Amino acid sequence: MIGVVSNPRARKNAADPARMERLRRVLDSEGVVREARTVEEIADIAWEFRRSEIDILAIDGGDGTLHHTLTAFIPVYSGADLPLIALLRSGTMNTIANSLGIKGLSEVILQQTVRGIKGWAPLEVVRTNALGVNDRYGFIFGMGFPVNLLNAYYRGGGRGRWKTVRVLLKIFLSTLDRERAESNFFHPLEADVWLDGEKLPMGSYTAILGSTVKGVGLGFKPTRWAGEKEGLFQILCLNMGPKRMAMNALKVLLAMELRDERLFNRMATRGVISLKKAADMQIDGEIFRNQREIRLHIGPVVQFIKTA
């Protein structure tokens, strides 16, 4: 049985009200669709699907819907394996799906999933751990520059590759004025960071990024080791000035390996970030304001149906 959690506010659903009925027709008698407008509704759906013993959880939304769905489902499935997950790529960016190599139109992905559950075609699966961030679960965590980059990207209209290029150009040009660059994009965070019980020697960071997937959005793939070994997440902690930071961002876009004396690049199972002043963090592209202490921990293995 396939259980679909659908976010009616996701980009594709908001633009096409008839889309939901098309998904129901694809499912036919092989599953059910449940719309969720609030976090509380997702939790109720999680208990319903656990009692129904669904085989596959299809998520009809983007990265935010995936993050909130996992946050609700993982505690409900505590002590048991999560169902296989089909990502229907209904959001604006679909960063996690892209990073895992999950492609295709929503209806086609659901059709392939239905064929698989009927035994008509094999289902290919890709595995990775979720990343726990306090009491939430996602795959990508960031503070400092990653949040500032997202704020710049979300500001104003437009999305996609050309919006990314414009934002990055603005950032690189800002490095010509160090004071303005530090104020807008590279303002350091005063924080103590522990990774697996070891305190890092730096007390100031311009960027902190943790992930269990290689692609972290907007064309960046700095966490090249992420997902290679289950039970670990990759974390990068940097303390660099604007020009040095911009050059390393360019290296990431060119798929070059990061090497710098001001960079800590580790695989870890847990971490603690204790901030001197409250700062914003992001989980899978969603920004959470005014955080003081963040506890990172490796989450359960999540198995995604991979479509091409």
Tell me which amino acid residue 113 is: T
Query: In this structure, which topology does domain 137-300 adopt according to CATH?
Result: Tumour Suppressor Smad4 (2.60.200)
Give me the percent of the chain exceeding a pLDDT of 90.
67
Structural domain boundaries of the chain? Answer: 2-123, 137-300
CA 150, chain centre distance (Å): 13
Least confident stretch, 79-93, 129-143, 169-183, 219-233: 169-183
Least confident stretch, 145-149, 166-170, 256-260: 256-260
- Whole-angstrom distance, CA of residue 122 vs CA of residue 169: 44
- By C-alpha distance, which of 226, 231, 232 is closest to 213? 226
How many helices (H) and strands (E) in the chain?
Answer: 10, 15
For 210-268, how does the pLDDT look when each residue is reduced to its tens digit (9 = 90+)?
A: 999 998 877 778 898 999 999 999 999 998 877 777 676 666 655 567 676 688 999 99
Angle at which helices 161-174 and 145-154 cross, to 10°: 120
Tallying the residues shown for the chain, one arrives at 308
pTM of the predicted protein model: 0.91
- Whole-angstrom distance, CA of residue 300 vs CA of residue 201: 30
- Does an H or E element contain 210, and which? strand 207-211
For 205-225, how does the pLDDT look when each residue is reduced to its tens digit (9 = 90+)?
A: 999 999 999 988 777 788 989
For 109-135, how does the pLDDT look when each residue is reduced to its tens digit (9 = 90+)?
A: 999 999 999 989 899 999 999 999 999
CB neighbour list of residue 50: distance below 8 Å, 6 or more residues apart: 76, 77
User: Is 3.40.50.10330 the CATH number for 2-123?
Assistant: yes
